[in-house]
Amino acid sequence: MALVDTLQPSAGAYRRQKPRLDWPHALRAMRRLLADKEDTVQVFEIMRALNGASTARGYHRLLATPEGGRIAYERQEFARKLMDDAWLDSLPDGSLGAAYRSFIRAEQLSADGLAEVSRLGTTQIDEPHPYAWFGRRTRDVHDLWHVLSGYGRDGLGEACLVAFSYAQTKGLGWAFIASFAALRSRKAKTYPYVGAIWEGYRRGQAAAWLLGEDYERLMAEPIDSARRRLNLPAPVIYNSIPPEARDGAVPSK
C-alpha cells in the first residue's frame, strides 16, 4: 500500500482555488479495493480524489521545520536511494536502514515498483514542482513507515498504517480507507481489530511528524533510538492479535 496526494500546477493556483474532492470517484475506487485488497492502484485513486491540498500543506509545513528548507532545496528523490542496493548494504546492523533492507527483501518489495503503480492513470506525480516532489517523497517512505511503526503488510497492519498515515498527513483519502477498514472489521468479533486501527491513528497523532525527517540520516540511526526519539513505542493492540489472524481483519467480501 502506498500514498500520493492531488498535486497543483503552481503555488499561485493553490492559493487561488482549493482542490475539489471527488467523492463518487473515491467510492468507486473503494469498492474495487474492498473486492481486491492487493489492488494498490485504487489506493492512489482514492488519494487523488480526496487528499485535496494536504500535499501543499505538508510541503509548507516542511519549510517551517529547522532543516526543512535545506531538504526542500536539495529535493532529493529518495526512491533512488532506496533502490541503491550498495547504499542499503552499507547501513549498519541494528539501524533503521538495516531493518528496512531485511523487510523489503523478505517481502520482495521495491520503491521503484511502488512508484510505477503511482503513475498509472496520471502524469502529475512526476511533475517538476515542489508539491509533486513532496508527494513523491511521501509515497516513497511508506514501506519505511511500516518498519518504523511496527505494522506488517497483513490486512490489519495495512489498515493500522492507513490510520497512522491519516494522523500524520491529514489527507482525507487515508481517513476514508481507515473508516471502511474499521467498518468491515466490525464483522469479526474474535479480536479487537477496530481497536488496533484506532490505536494506529492515536500513535500517528502522538509521534513526531515523520515527513519532516532527514531520511538519509534517519536510515543510519539505530532503530530502537529512532523509535524512542520519534515517540513510536510498539503497537500494543496490534501485537496482541496472533499473526495468523491479522489477515482476517478486513474481509474482502
pLDDT at position 251: 46
Q: How many domains does the chain have?
A: 1
pLDDT at position 186: 82
pLDDT greater than 80 at residue 105 = yes
Q: What average pLDDT does the segment 230-249 reach?
A: 92
Instruction: Lowest mean pLDDT of 37-51, 109-123, 216-230, name the range.
Output: 109-123
pLDDT at position 11: 42
Per-residue pLDDT tens digits for 160-207: 999 999 999 999 999 999 999 999 888 777 899 999 999 999 999 999
* CA 28 and chain centroid, separation: 21
Q: How far apart are CA 221 and CA 218, in angstroms?
A: 5
In a domain, 179, yes or no: yes
AA letter at 196: A
* CA 205 and chain centroid, separation: 14
In a domain, 3, yes or no: no
pTM: 0.89
In a domain, 23, yes or no: yes
Supply the DSSP string of the chain, one letter for each residue: --------S-HHHHHH-PPPP-HHHHHHHHHHHHH-TT-HHHHHHHHHHH-TTHHHHHHHHHHTSTTHHHHHHHT--HHHHHT-HHHHHHSPTTBHHHHHHHHHHHHT--HHHHHHHHHTT-SGGG-SSHHHHHHHHHHHTHHHHHHHHT--SSHHHHHHHHHHHHHHH--HHHHHHHHHHHHHHTT--SS-HHHHHHHHHHHHHHS--GGGS-HHHHHTSBHHHHHHHTT-PPPHHHHHS-GGGGGGSS---
pLDDT greater than 60 at residue 116 = yes
How far separated are the first and last CA of the chain, in Å rounded? 19
pLDDT at position 250: 59
Confidence at 245, pLDDT banded by 50, 70, 90:
very high
In a domain, 45, yes or no: yes
Taking residue 170's Cβ as centre, other Cβ atoms within 10 Å add up to 16
Instruction: Lowest mean pLDDT of 145-159, 178-192, 204-218, 223-237, name the range.
Output: 178-192
Domain span at residue 89 reads 11-248
In a domain, 82, yes or no: yes
pLDDT at position 113: 86
In a domain, 4, yes or no: no
Q: How far apart are CA 97 and CA 91, in angstroms?
A: 6
Share of the chain above pLDDT 70, in %: 91
Do the Cβ atoms of 79 and 100 come closer than 8 Å? no
pLDDT at position 18: 62
In a domain, 30, yes or no: yes
**Residue 220: all three cell numbers together:** 543510519
Instruction: Lowest mean pLDDT of 3-12, 83-92, 232-241, name the range.
Output: 3-12
pLDDT at position 252: 43
Per-residue pLDDT tens digits for 31-73: 998 888 788 899 999 999 999 899 999 999 999 999 999 999 9
